[in-house]
Structures are given as C-alpha cells and as structure tokens.
Amino acid sequence: MTWQFTSEVLISLLTATIAMSMAVISWRWWKTPGIIYFTFMILSIGGWALFSGLEAAAILIPDKLIWAKMQYICIALLSAFWLLLVMQYTHQERKISFWWVVSFMVVPLLTIYITMTEEKHHWLWEQIIPASNILGASLIYTRGWWFLITAGYFYLLLILGAFLLIRKTIIPPKSDGARALILLTGVIPPLISNLIYQMQLFPGVNLRLLLMVGLVISGFIYIWGIYYFEFLETSSLSRDVIIDKMSEGVIVLDRRDHIHNINSTALNMLGMSERSAKRKTLSDIITIWPGISESFRVPHDFETEVRINGDSPKILSIRATNLKDKDGQSTGRMVVWRDITQYRQVESTLRDSEARFKALFQGAPDAIIITDKYSRIVLVNNQTITLFGYAFEELMGNSIEIVIPERYREAYYKYQKAFIDEIETRPGISLPLNGMRKNRREIPIEIALSPVKIPSGVIFTNIIRDLTIRKEAEEQLRLQSIALESAANGILITDRKGNIQWVNPAFTKMTGFTSDDVRGKNPRILKSGLVPQDIFNNLWKTILSGNIWHGELINRRKDGKIITEEQTIAPVRDSSGQIIHFIAIKQDITERKRAEEALSKRTDQIATLNRVMQTLSSTLDISKVLDTILREIQQVVPYDSASVWLSKEDRLEIIAVHGFPDPETLIGSSFALSSGDTPNTQVMQTRVPMIVDDAYSTYNSFRTGVHAQYKHRGWMGVPMIIGDRVIGMLAFDKKIPNYYTEEQSQFALAFAAQAAIAIENARLYSDAQKELMEKIRAEEKLLILQKELEEQAIRDSLTGLYNRRFLDETLTRELSRAERDKYSVSIVMVDLDHFKVFNDTYGHDVGDLMLKQLGKLLISQVRAGDIACRYGGEEFVVVMPKASLAVARQRANDWRMKFESQILIHEGEVLNATLSAGVSVYPMHGTTSDEIIRKADQAMYAAKAAGRNQVITAG
C-alpha cells in the first residue's frame, strides 16, 4: 500500500492523536457516570479522523474505499454514544435501559453491515469516481438512499443531545450549567464543519480539511473543560444523582421562594413531574399550608401535618436551611423533609397494641403471674386476684410461693429450672399441681411457664388455669368411660372420615377384633359383602346430614363367621356445630334373626300350604295341578330340578318335571320298583322322606342312563300318601351336595300329602272326564251320521250339487220371499250337448266325469245365495235370487264359454263338450215354480234347436 502525505493528512492524524489522548485521559474517571459513553464517543471521533487521514494518504482507489468504509463505521456509532452521554449527564439515566441502548444502535449496526457489503447493492454510494486523473486524487461519492438515512439519523441524535444540554444549561445551578455548556460547545465546531462539508457550501475550499479543523477545535475545548472546569470529576457529575437518590425530599428555593431544584423523592411525595414543579412556589403546591415560605425564614426543625394536592394528610419532619454564596449573601433556602406518617402510625399502632395487651392480659380467663428470675411477682392480672383471693398489693413483690403449697414447690422450681437451662418457649408443656388460696384452701391448677428474654435478663409468664371444673368433668368422663367399657352392647367411635378411634370390650367380644386391630382403620374391615351398597350410601347420607341412622347390617367377625348386627349411628358435633365424630352402638342379633327367619319361614310354609290347598282345590285339571305343585314348592324348598312320580302297578312313572332342559324326554319314563340301586324304591318302600347328600357319588343310577347328564348332587325324595296307600313321590334335585335339611323334608312331606290328594282328585276327575268325553264323542258321531244322511237326501251323489227334491222345496220358498220383498228370481236351465252320443262313444264312466266337471264349474261360479241343482240326467238348474234377466243371461253365457274351454284327458285323448242354456225370470215368465222352470226348459230346447252351444232367454 503506497501513501502520500499532505496537510490534510497531517491535520487528520493530529485530530486522531488528540482524540486518542483524551480517551486515555478520560479513563482515569471510569467510575464517573457516563464516562464510558464519553470515551467511546471520543474514540469514534478519533477513528473518524484517523481513517479520514488514511483515506487522503492512500493513493490507490481500493485502499481509499477501505478507509472510507472505516470512517462511516465510526460516524455511525458516534451519534449514538453522543446521545447516551448527554442523557447520562443530564440525569436521564432512568431512561437508559437495555432496550434504549438497543434502539439507538439499530441504525448504526445496519449502517456497519451495509457499509461492509456496499459492493453488492450500492445503497450507501450509488457511484464513486476520482476527482481528477491525478494519481491519489480524492474520490467523489454520489450518495445513496441509505446514506441519507444515516446522515439524518446522525444529525437527529446530535440535535436531541444539544437540546438536552441547552435545557440543562438554562435550568440547573450555574456550575452544572457551565459544564453542560462546555459539552455543548465541544460538539458545535465539528457539527457546523460537517454540515458545510455535506452541503458543499464552499466549493473552492478543502472541506475535508475544514472538517478536521472542526474536530481539532472540539478536542481542545474538551481538554480545556477537563482541566479548568473539572469536566469529568465524580463529585461534579454525581452530586445531582446523590441528591436525587436521597430518601428525604429536597427542595431548593431561590430568593423569591421559587423552586429552583427538586429531587425525585420530593416529586413522588408531591405527585408531580419535575417540569410542573419548576418555577413554582411551595405555597402553590401545598395549597392549605398558609405562609409556608415564612416558616422557613429562620432555620429550624419541626413537624407538621400537611395535605398535598388534596391527598390524605401526611406528617412531615422538616428541616429548613439558608443557602449562601461565597460572599455570605443569601441565595435562597434548602428544605429537606421526611415523611414520618408511617412512623407516627407505627407509634399509634404500638400504643393500640399495648392497650390491647392490657385488655387481653386483664381479661384473660386464666390467672397470669409474671415473675422475675428470682421468682418475685412483678405483675398479675385480675383473674389472679379472683382465683387466689389476694389483693393486688399483697401479691406484688412477693414470691410466687405465696400461691403454691410447700409440698409442690420443689416440683415447680424443677419445672422452672428446665426453662432457665434452655431459654426457650415450650408451648404445650405444663405442670399440674395444687394452688393455695389466701384462706389456705387448695385447688387443682395447671401452670404453663413461658420464659421471655429482656435486656436485663429473663422474666417468666406463669399462666395458671383453675382445673376444678375440668377435674369434675374428668371424673364425669371417667365414670362415663367405665359405663362405656362395661356396656353389653358393642360401641365404637370414629372420626369424621370413619376411621376408628376407640372400641369397648363388648365390641371385641362381638367381632373378635381387639382395639389394636381396628384403631385407625375403617369399619369396612367388618364388611361381609352381603349388604347392598345402597344401604351404605343411605347410611352416610343420613349421618353426614347430622341425623341418626338406625338399621341392620350383616358383618363378618375376625374368624370369618357371619353375624347380623342392629346398629345405631349418631354424629357428634363440636361447639361450632361441626360434625367431628360418629358413635356406633351395635348389638349382635344373629340368633334373634335366625329365630325370626325360622318363624318367617314356617309362616311362609304354612301360607304356601294354604295357598296350594286353595289353588289345588280350585281346579281338577291334572296339568294345572302338577304345575302348581312344582311351582309352589320351589318357594320354600329350593331346587334346580324336580319331578312328580306316580305308582302304576309295579313301576314308577314320571308325569311332570320342572327345571330340566329337555322335559319331553323324561315325561312318561318309568322305572321298575324292584330296582335296588335307586333311592326312589327306598322312599316308596319306607314311606318316609329320604335325603341323599351326594346322589351322584352314592348311586350308580345317577351316573348312568338319563340322570348322568345332569350330575345331581343333593337329592330329596318325599312320598305322596293317601290313607294307607303310597300313590307316588316328589323328587328334588340340587347340583350342590349336602343341600337339603330335615326341616325341609318335613315341610315337603306335608306338602306332598296335599299334593297327593289333589293329584288323586284330578285323576278321578280325569277318568270321569274321559268317560264323559267318550260319550260326547259318540253322540257327535251320531249327529255327524245324521247330517250325512240329511245331506245325502238333498245332494246329488255324483256332482255334489243339490238334487231335484231340494230344488222343489226351496224354489217355492224363494219365490214366496221374492213376492213379499219385491225382487226378481232368475232360472237358468243347462243341458249337455250330444251327451248320449258321448256316453255311447266313451262309456258311462267318462260321461260321469264330464258331469262332475260341469258340477265343479257351477259350484265355483255361483254366488253364496244361489242354488245349483242336478235336475236329472245331463240337465242342471241354477236359481239366482235378486238377479235380473240380463245378468242371468250374462252369467249363463260365461259358464258356457268356460265349460267349452275345459278339457278331459281319456286314454291319451283330449275330450271336451259344450252346453246349451235357457233363461227365465220371475215374475216376467211366471209366478209359480213350474211355470218359470217350464219357460227356462223351453228356452234351453230353443237353444239346442238353434244349433246348440248357446244361451237363449224365454220369450
């Protein structure tokens, strides 16, 4: 890198040297607030000057560009450090937070980045060209858009700093104003020269040289300020900070009593800003404190109560001091105040606390005696006088032995010594003994000792409680405890959560659980699992609502035995009415319940017997009787399956079953009474009930045959006896061994006796019913035969149609009804065409088939009220009441066509025939049966004469 040295280079280096020297000098005051920002600002100026000189000294353009970039890095940082310095110097340090510093540095840091990457975007300089063709000539920079932002930001921060310094120069004391003026003056020469340089106001002048001269002047101004005005002295810069941080409010008044200076504490107390307070009088702020300025004419200290800005009253401790200049002339006053409102409130609170202590001390329900370390009484309360009967004067200064009988004094002093050896309060440790009243009568008391440290040593607070009432209560409780311990009923006490706290011996005897077994546990350890959860839910709901629960619970003893308990559970409340315990009183009623259950069972059995007797006596239906027997017996003698057996000669037959999956396969089965390996035979032979604990294991017949699939274990057989006859037996099966009892067998025997009577009655009734039914069936057959004979008398046996006899009887009646009710009756006479030829050709059997076919057709086609008859041979007559002549002719024509379409297969040959019909109607063609039949017959022959296979009405 080659260089050239000019006056501009030398001045730049001189400026840089001055700046670097100032930075080194300023570091001596590194503890002074703001000195770090001042140092960095000076270093930025020095860097600006140094790199400006190096740019001028460099010959090659790339070298010049490097130093130009370094200049702009320094310039970018300079304005930010300048404003931070001014804010610190003007006591705006509360605003210099981390985020303030970050916000000030955003534009400088972006400028540094853009400067270092200028070749990629040309945002800082749009174009760079040499000023001339001479080697080493200066460069002309065409400013880019970011250059304008940087320049604007630079001047904005410089102007803001200048504004703060001007404000500081005008308002604060003159000494501070002079220093602020120096700081402001130092920035003016480079600011003006830089503006001239940037705006190119003097084209013929070396403006870069002018800028460096401005920086040199600035440096000399700051050096002058450092040495002659102690510009960087800590005391000078920190005095306002110290005053501002004071906990007391400080106000400086000038000769006219205007506020010249005020610290933050005073501003906070007044609830004002610094700007609103300046140039006002104190009387303007404290409006209800008349003549406040006159109060400060003579220096003095005093306390007063003031109300500031309408706020609540405050008590202030105020010191007023006159301020004088170096000639002793008064320049104003300084008022220092301290808010002692809280202090006075504490004093008031302390007085109130002392009053409350006296009230509590004198109003305490226990006697309180305060003694010194020699056991001399120094203070007693009213309850002490009441308890022991002494006057206040008689107790004061006396030894505490005056209220302690001689035989208890050694124990008391031993108790006291334990506290003296270890000076600490021991709440809960008390000494029971007897106290002595003035009349020498002893009373039970309890002393709780509490040592209290004081500057002169230690004193003791003796809290003495009269135990007379408690002793009486304890004796009462002891007697009650004895009563509870001796109670025959089991008693347990639980806490609110149900955890057992105490049980009496009767509880242990009843449940087998000792007190140690159950203490702290829940009563659920007694649960048997046989009580529905709903009962427990209702129990807890009742007692938690404060009510008493009474009921029965099935519990389990410690040995596993099930017992039934009658319990009463009651809640116990404290003085505030809150439930704190539950007391349960229980009685073992297992035997009573068994007796009640036995009685209830016997009652149920008798009721069942009565009900069965009534039911059985109300029916003689054998199936209903058997169903009732099996259904009712199950209510009192449970079974999985049961059967009813009847004796028939030398066999037993099953006539009814219940509970079997396939009853049809069992009913009707019979077994020989001679079979030896069955309990049934023994029941029938011994005529007494028989119980088998495990039939499946005992009898081979239960393991084979039809019984094998059921695997019956428990079995009971009961004979059914009438008089001296065993008519059968009842058999009960259970899949559980050892199930049936003697009690059940006796009831079953009584039940079987009733069942036997019912079955026998039903059998007799059934036999009678059978005889009656046979008679009824015979009579019904006779009636059927009679009806058949009647049908044969009016029916044609070949076609199933009515015969001519029926026609003669009914047609006359039908015409009489028609005459009475005024309706018509049509007659159709039908005759098969060439029927004689048909018979001669195919035989009479085939002719009969053709007649049957026509009869079926007429039966299927006539109405319900119509009468179809075989009139004779191949002639047929159909009587149609309430049918007109036209309807009758249409119906006859339909029959003709349908018959013509029917075929008859005979020996592989397809046969068919036709018919001719004549139609007449009552009363048009006659009023008697003979007349209208004759008219229909004539019309039928007319049809045959006309060529057959047609229908013609009578003329």
Residue 102 lies in a domain: yes
Residue 759 lies in a domain: yes
Q: Are 268 and 262 in contact (CB under 8 A)?
A: no
**What CATH number is attached to the domain comprising 307?**
3.30.450.20
- Regions of the chain short of the pLDDT cut 70: 1, 29-34, 89, 91-98, 168-245, 274-275, 278-279, 282-312, 325-326, 421-429, 483, 598-599, 602-603, 605-606, 608-620, 675-677, 705-707, 788-792
| Same domain, yes or no: 652 and 756 | yes
Domain extent, residue 536, equals 487-588
Secondary structure (DSSP) of 209-252: HHHHHHHHHHHHHHHHHHHHS-TT-HHHHHHHHHHHH-SSEEEE
What sign for the dihedral angle of Cα 864, 865, 866, 869? positive
SS3 content of the chain, % helix, strand, coil (to 5): 55, 25, 25
Tokens of 888: 């009758």
Last residue within a domain, chosen from 470, 497, 523: 470
The pLDDT of residue 285 is: 64
| Same domain, yes or no: 811 and 723 | no
**CA angle 434-439-445, nearest 5°?**
20
Residue 550 lies in a domain: yes
| Same domain, yes or no: 813 and 895 | yes
* Amino acid in position 596: E
Q: Locate tokens 């020498």: which residue?
A: 440
Residue 396 lies in a domain: yes
Last residue within a domain, chosen from 317, 345, 373: 345
The pLDDT of residue 326 is: 60
E strand residue ranges, 633-674:
641-648, 651-658, 670-672
The pLDDT of residue 301 is: 62
Cβ neighbours of residue 235 closer than 8 Å, sequence gap 6 or more: none
| Same domain, yes or no: 807 and 917 | yes
Q: Are 447 and 388 in contact (CB under 8 A)?
A: no
Tokens of 271: 């609830």
Residues in the chain: 955
The pLDDT of residue 235 is: 44
Question: Rounded to whole angstroms, how far apart are CA atoms 31 and 149?
Answer: 35
The pLDDT of residue 119 is: 84
Residue 414 lies in a domain: yes
Question: Rounded to whole angstroms, how far apart are CA atoms 775 and 768?
Answer: 11
| Same domain, yes or no: 109 and 252 | no
DSSP β-ladder status, 367-371 and 259-262:
unpaired
**What CATH number is attached to the domain comprising 646?**
3.30.450.40
Residue 241 lies in a domain: no
**What CATH number is attached to the domain comprising 849?**
3.30.70.270
Q: Where are the alpha helices (DSSP H) in 587-638?
A: 590-617, 622-636
| Same domain, yes or no: 194 and 45 | yes
Question: Rounded to whole angstroms, how far apart are CA atoms 435 and 465?
Answer: 10
The pLDDT of residue 399 is: 93
The pLDDT of residue 175 is: 43
Three-state DSSP state, 466 = strand
Question: Rounded to whole angstroms, how far apart are CA atoms 928 and 794?
Answer: 21
Number of domains observed in the structure of the chain? 6
The pLDDT of residue 236 is: 46
The pLDDT of residue 95 is: 60
| Same domain, yes or no: 84 and 172 | yes
| Same domain, yes or no: 192 and 251 | no
Cβ neighbours of residue 450 closer than 8 Å, sequence gap 6 or more: 419, 425, 426, 427, 460, 461, 463
Q: Are 267 and 351 in contact (CB under 8 A)?
A: no
| Same domain, yes or no: 331 and 382 | no
In terms of Cα–Cα distance, which of 449, 421, 417, 454 is closest to 433? 449
| Same domain, yes or no: 757 and 873 | no
- Beta bridge partners, 321, equal 334
Cβ neighbours of residue 898 closer than 8 Å, sequence gap 6 or more: 857, 861
| Same domain, yes or no: 605 and 582 | no
Cβ-based neighbour number of residue 196 at 10 Å: 16
**What CATH number is attached to the domain comprising 160?**
1.20.1070.10
Residue 907 lies in a domain: yes
Last residue within a domain, chosen from 236, 254, 289: 236
Question: Rounded to whole angstroms, how far apart are CA atoms 629 and 287?
Answer: 113
| Same domain, yes or no: 277 and 192 | no
Cβ neighbours of residue 916 closer than 8 Å, sequence gap 6 or more: 830, 831, 833, 940, 943, 944, 948, 949, 950, 951
* Amino acid in position 618: S
Q: What is the 3-state secondary structure (H, E, C) of 296-348?
A: CCCCEEEEEEECCCCCCCEEEEEEEEEEECCCCCEEEEEEEEEECHHHHHHHH
Q: Are 564 and 588 in contact (CB under 8 A)?
A: yes
Residue 279 lies in a domain: yes
